[in-house]
Structure 1
Amino acid sequence: MASRPLYVTAKDGTSLFAQDWGTGKPVLLLAAWTFNSSVWGSQIVALNAKGYRCVAPDRRGHGRSDMPMTGYDLDTLTDDVAAVIEQHDLRDVTIVAHSMGSIEAVNYLARHGAERIARLVLVAPTTPYLVQTEDNPDAVPRTMVDAQNAAIAQDFPKWMGENEAPFFMPDTSEITRAWIREMMLSVPLPVALACRKTISFADLRAAAKGIDRPTLIVHGDKDVSAPLQLTGAKTAGLIKGSKLAVYEGAPHALPLTHSARLMSDLFAFMDA
């Protein structure tokens, strides 16, 4: 561990923090919008116990990484992921990406190739394309995207409170909810809004079609943040040979609400 860097350097000089635990085949864990790598703690412990090495970066502007004014576009964020993979010399990698992490993962394969990647796991993905256009009619209208962003810009804590209930399960503990609220609010609002816009307008339909690695997509059928039929199901239809696992009654925060089932499916997929 002493020889492994706690930080990697992005193309523009931004310092990116990355947890790196364990030995064995590597698993790269990419977090959701306004989440940092701390959210993967339970998964890291479980993966380490099974003999996997876990690398989990904090996205720029999040957690312990630098907070530059720029670089929250899709390609820069993707290049940040590439910097983590390359500077940690990760090979035969399983990428596990939750929510926003999915756009970085899918774009990584299109932009940097699959040479270092063994397989892909998308957890409640926001791919392939969220916003409604003429050639993407069954998606979220631009006016709705703009209204949500305006509400966040006006009062982020209020917006979080109004949207919290369907994000978790009814039995999710208050201390877990408070932890996530604090994590989300620790991200500067300009960063949160810039990332949210990147998620909304990332068109990864062509990139998803080009994926040739074994892919598992896990999605809840009660996901309000990224509805199954708009995201996970569409993504599965684009990635040849992918497997879609639908969790009945499950919301968006699957690593928090359905960790045991997620890990069981993940181990079965990686060991196949």
Structure 2
Amino acid sequence: MSYIKAGTDVNGNDVKLHYIDQGQGNPIVLIHGWPASYEMWEYQLAELPKHGHRVVAYTRRGFGNSSKTWEGNDYDTLADDLKAVLDTLDLQNVTLVGFSMGGGEVARYMSRHGGARVSKVAFVSAVTPFLLKTDNNPDGADKDVFDKMVEGINKDRFDFLQSFGKQFFGVGVISHPVSQATLDWMQSICQLASPRAMEQDVYAFAATDFRQDLGAIQVPTLVIHGSSDDTVPAKVSGERMTQYVPHAQYVEYSGAPHGLFITEKDRLNQDLLAFAGGGSAQQTTDRY
């Protein structure tokens, strides 16, 4: 296994981030969602390097095979971890892709570190700009939504993950966009997360206001969201992104759930390759 050192924890222990580095060319860096690991990018890691790109994916602290720290589950620290990845591998001209919670790392990195080494950013099913309902964010979700998630994690983390996985991929009584084997695979990945990181990161992605961070983004920006995302609804996330990043291209995948990196893998791969190569994602949805 390959690891990058991202500083030390409060006890002086090295914080190590598990990563994979494949292919050659202008780099694409993939940041996974909660509560998975870089392995969730299986179909992107298998395809994107075939098209002249160096593709790097890493697992944030607390998840997968990365260090399980007690503290540091906040976006300033996570953005610093991302900087450690880019600096250690000396990546330049990076297309940075953040899925779900990973979109927050993209936003915070661009403001906290001035977008160093990054030439383009993509937000996929991302939690940006701000999920929590407040007086100045009336379109957000009530805090009870996130409290119930934490309650479910603490009561029976494995049962929570099973139910969450079905919502994540839009599985219902009639709809079966992914196989049971895929659900089992995803649950096995998510089970590697530490309970502490799972709980702390719920409040991190729920309560962190990224609206000012987004104002720092001056590079080409792509926003992709599924219209049937019940985990991070497009109306409170993707649809609002152009308010804060006016130059962003917003593409909505009609009928797609949160986990569109699996259900729409071919289209997502094509759109990311087109964007990284200097083109635009395909506008073949109901919304423009």
**TM bucket, shorter chain:** over 0.9
Contact 2:161 2:190 in 1 (8 A): no
1:139-218 map, 5 Å: 139-169=140-170, 170-218=176-224
2:134 equivalent to 1:133:
yes
1:70-109 map, 5 Å: 70-109=71-110
Mean Cα deviation higher: 216-225 or 39-48: 39-48
1:1-272 map, 5 Å: 6-12=2-8, 13-169=14-170, 170-271=176-277, 272=279
- The number of aligned residues is 268
Shift of 1:198: 0.6
The letter of the residue matching 1:234 is: R
The letter of the residue matching 1:182 is: S
Shift of 1:123: 0.5
CA distance in 2, matches of 1:82, 1:217: 22
Root mean square deviation of aligned Cα: 1.4
C-alpha distance after superposition, 1:48-107 (max 9, x if no partner):
110100111111122221112111111111100110000000110001111010000110
Shift of 1:17: 1.5
The letter of the residue matching 1:233 is: E
Q: Secondary structure at the match of 1:14?
A: strand
Contact 2:130 2:208 in 1 (8 A): yes
The letter of the residue matching 1:230 is: V
Gapped runs of 5+ residues in structure 2? 9-13, 171-175, 280-288
C-alpha distance after superposition, 1:194-218 (max 9, x if no partner):
1111111111001112210101111
Shift of 1:11: 2.4
Contact 2:166 2:183 in 1 (8 A): no
The letter of the residue matching 1:247 is: Y
Shift of 1:6: 2.2
CA distance in 1, matches of 2:61, 2:134: 29
CA distance in 1, matches of 2:84, 2:241: 26
Shift of 1:20: 0.7
Contact 1:219 1:247 in 2 (8 A): yes
Q: Secondary structure at the match of 1:10?
A: strand
Give the TM-score of the pair, scaled to structure 2.
0.89
Shift of 1:148: 2.3
Mean Cα deviation higher: 16-25 or 144-153: 144-153
Gapped runs of 5+ residues in structure 1? none
Contact 1:209 1:239 in 2 (8 A): yes
Mean Cα deviation higher: 215-224 or 260-269: 260-269
Shift of 1:157: 2.2
Contact 1:11 1:79 in 2 (8 A): no
C-alpha distance after superposition, 1:219-266 (max 9, x if no partner):
001001100010111123211210111011100001111110101111
Paired-residue identity, %: 31
Q: Secondary structure at the match of 2:200?
A: helix
CA distance in 2, matches of 1:15, 1:81: 12
CA distance in 2, matches of 1:146, 1:58: 25
Contact 1:211 1:240 in 2 (8 A): no
The letter of the residue matching 2:184 is: A
The letter of the residue matching 1:160 is: L
Contact 2:168 2:230 in 1 (8 A): yes
